[in-house]
Structure 1
Amino acid sequence: MLSRLLPPKGPARLLAGVTLVHTMGQGLWLALNAIYATSVLRLTPGQFSIGVGTAAGVALAVSTPAGHLADRLGPRSVQIWSFIALGPLTAALLAVHGFGMYLLVVSVQALAYSASRSARMAVVAGLVPPEQRVHVRAYLRATSNVSVSVGAVLAGVLLAVNSATAYKGAVVFNAATYLATGLLSLLLPAVAPQPARTGPALIVLRDRPYLTFVVLDGLLSMHNVLLEVVLPIWVLHHTAAPRWMVAAILVTNTVAVVLLQVRAARGTDEPAGAARASRSGALCLTLACAVFAFTGRVSWLPASALLLAGALAHVLGEIRQSAGSWGMAFGLAPDDAQGQYQGTYAMGSDLGKLVAPALLTWLAVEHGAIGWIAMAAGFGLVGAAMPAVAARAGRGRRPEPDPVAA
């Protein structure tokens, strides 16, 4: 099945191979990160949360400068060295003793991770023609979902063993995937660095239409937290549905992304089409939240049916909104500054991840159906604004008419 998900040839196939290795380690570590910190390093849950928040803040702060560095040095070079640096930085968790040392290690990790993330998107922009970038990005997401699932299965095996040695082995494995990703990146064609420009270095920070898109896209990206945080709590404590519905919803999402993400990316290569995709994705998210609002006061069978229906609407919104997001992120950025623009684009989802857990959980858990309806309205309104944002940004990039030709 995986061979059918990969692009047929060329740099896109190499990009998919790099993504496959990298995200397998991510899938493993996402499931074990908190357990390693609290069980092996003996940190308190509060200390672990501070560490996660600090790392997220560091990654957020350096995302745009890291992208600018990728423009100036060449994104492939930055990708290679950031992943190679993440290898020993991850392995350093084996030598951590105490909260202060842990905080230092995860903060430096966040620097390297932010650089790798900004560089990866700039590499895609540099190696893939504009009309194929979103298509390739969709292939990479489908591939990463398969790889993350494999990593999660490996994590399940280590959780069954439940020993400090097993969890330390996960650290070694994750470090090895970073090193392997860096080495595999050597196979990618080089992307030429961009020469220094006159005027401000970080031009993206003066691009108000693009920054508006980043903020709105970050608000839409909060739908990821619905699946990871809000719905499990809602299903377990506020519906009559069986506990296994949480797993059924996650499996439904994973399978749908793998099978449908590439198809959902059609027609999103230009900003106008991408904005319409974001709007239609937001409408699906609106429908999903409206369906979830009715699951709290019915018996287990209708609650289960409604939860699955809402999960299908959610994943359709997710894959369509993601494709639109990539199309606007690539299409609204100048080719000589893709690194800093993609780094800034990533900040939107980072901000969404920081705000969404508390906000969306408060809406759903504290306010029930009314909270779900409020979320539905919010997603719908944000999505409706996307075409206007894309049109405004497009007007700002339209070339001036040639007075001689006129």
Structure 2
Amino acid sequence: ATSVGVGLTIAGLFGLAAGVPAGRASDRWGRRPVLTALWTGCGLTLAAYTVIGSYAAFLATAIAYAALSQASMGVRNALYADVLPPATRVEGRAHLRMVTNVGMGVGGGFGALALQWDSRAGYTTLILLDAVAFAGSALMVLRLPGTAGRRPAEDTPAGSRWRAVRDLPFLAVTCCNAVLALQYGLLEVGLPLWIVEHTDAPRWSAALLMILNCVLVALLQVRATRGVTDLARAVRAMRRSGLLLVPACAAFAAAAGLGPAAALAVLVAGAVLQVFAEILSAAGGWTVGYGLADARAQGVYQGVFNSGQAAATMAAPALVTVTAIEHGPVGWTVLAVLFVGAGLATGPAVRLARRDDWRGE
């Protein structure tokens, strides 16, 4: 298990490095062909998991899948910018996230069946079904109307093509968003460990909180996004997200030492606060990610922005472990300070990013 974990961490590093070059490729050759190739590659590498027989082969497969999967996310987000009108772009992302949460629930059900079956045939079937889903998605991208996602290289000035990687104010906004995105790791990794090791809440509480999160996000994300229509409102949403995570962290910390029923009730209250923080940070992040990007190099900008979130996903398990899991309430306090600091810093960072003289206009 340790070797697999190390291998997946190494693969994640390659995934971080893949986002920006893939975004540049989509700016040059178009979103549709690049995203189709990336998702086809994801399907092939997933299928390869069923035939590998050595650690070296596992590592190569994991690296290939992580790079292709992570690269596809920034290109996908840039494609949204091309096919969705600016006025409805963020709300469209909210609808897509709602569908994603439903898909996660369905996928979790298939995963539960495979775990219950607990056979090589079951796991192989599950992996191959996932590979087929990637292939089907790639075909859907090709069927998008018109010239969606086409960005001929000659239409993009040379100075704009890699601009995102040297746009310091945009990178600062990306960092603020990445810190707020640590809350996803908090839910997926930190809370299950906290519940099992430090509280008397039932062990199934972790699954209950995950289900609660998926349901509430699916129900509330679209509604929350409708009020975030410009950069000023996006800044307020991200600031409120950071502030909401303070009582959420306090509730999680307070669950330690309580009886099973009381601990579960406090954990649920904290999880509900975290959901509101999540939907606000998502809506604000989408708005600033698109609103501050150079439309002539949308692929590179979305690649950079998404790489920040990917870095947070990688860092979250270790960060949550060395803070909350190892140091209890003090660690939860450190996380709360990080969240509120990122939320408050978003405003100044966005103001800097909107100043033309900082962005080389």
TM-score by length of 1: 0.84
Matched, 1:224 2:184: yes
Q: 1:351 aligns with which of 275, 288, 311?
A: 311
Q: What is aligned with 1:4?
A: none
Matched, 1:160 2:116: yes
Q: What is aligned with 1:88?
A: 44
Matched, 1:380 2:349: no
Q: For structure 1, which segment, 56-65 or 361-370, has the greater mean C-alpha deviation from structure 2 after superposition?
A: 361-370
Q: Percent identity?
A: 35
Partner Cα distance (1:200, 1:74) in 2: 16
Q: What is aligned with 2:151?
A: 193
Partner Cα distance (1:247, 1:198) in 2: 49
Q: What is aligned with 2:220?
A: 260
Q: What is aligned with 2:97?
A: 141
Following TM superposition, by how much is the alpha carbon of 1:87 offset from its aligned partner in structure 2, in angstroms? 2.0
Partner Cα distance (1:217, 1:385) in 2: 10
**CA separation of 1:181 and 1:400: change in aligned 2, threshold 3 A:** closer
The DSSP-based 3-state class of the residue aligned with 2:57 is helix
The Cα offsets for residues 238-294 of structure 1, whole Å up to 9 and x where unpaired, read as 112122222221121111001000011123232221111111111111120012221
Give the unaligned 5+ runs of structure 1.
Answer: 1-44, 402-406
Residue type of the partner of 2:230? E
Partner Cα distance (1:387, 1:252) in 2: 30
Following TM superposition, by how much is the alpha carbon of 1:397 offset from its aligned partner in structure 2, in angstroms? 7.7
The Cα offsets for residues 147-177 of structure 1, whole Å up to 9 and x where unpaired, read as 1110110111111111111111112111101
**Residue pair 2:169, 2:358 contacting (<8 A) in 1 also:** no
Structure 1 consecutive aligned stretches of length 4 or more whose deviation exceeds 6 Å: 397-401
**Alignment length (residue pairs):** 357
Q: What is aligned with 1:109?
A: 65
Partner Cα distance (1:131, 1:76) in 2: 22
The DSSP-based 3-state class of the residue aligned with 2:200 is coil
The DSSP-based 3-state class of the residue aligned with 1:267 is coil
**Residue pair 1:70, 1:118 contacting (<8 A) in 2 also:** no
Give the unaligned 5+ runs of structure 2.
Answer: none
Q: What is aligned with 1:69?
A: 25
Q: What is aligned with 1:128?
A: 84
The Cα offsets for residues 338-357 of structure 1, whole Å up to 9 and x where unpaired, read as 10000000111111122221
**Residue pair 1:269, 1:331 contacting (<8 A) in 2 also:** no
Partner Cα distance (2:324, 2:216) in 1: 25
Partner Cα distance (1:160, 1:366) in 2: 32
Q: What is aligned with 1:51?
A: 7
Q: What is the RMSD computed on CA atoms of the aligned residues? A: 1.8
Q: 1:238 aligns with which of 188, 194, 198?
A: 198
The DSSP-based 3-state class of the residue aligned with 2:149 is coil
In the TM superposition, 1:271-310 aligns within 5 A as 271-310=231-270
Q: What is aligned with 2:292?
A: 332
Partner Cα distance (1:313, 1:356) in 2: 19
Following TM superposition, by how much is the alpha carbon of 1:109 offset from its aligned partner in structure 2, in angstroms? 2.1
Following TM superposition, by how much is the alpha carbon of 1:119 offset from its aligned partner in structure 2, in angstroms? 1.4
**CA separation of 1:117 and 1:214: change in aligned 2, threshold 3 A:** same
The DSSP-based 3-state class of the residue aligned with 1:124 is helix
Partner Cα distance (2:228, 2:355) in 1: 18
The DSSP-based 3-state class of the residue aligned with 1:269 is coil
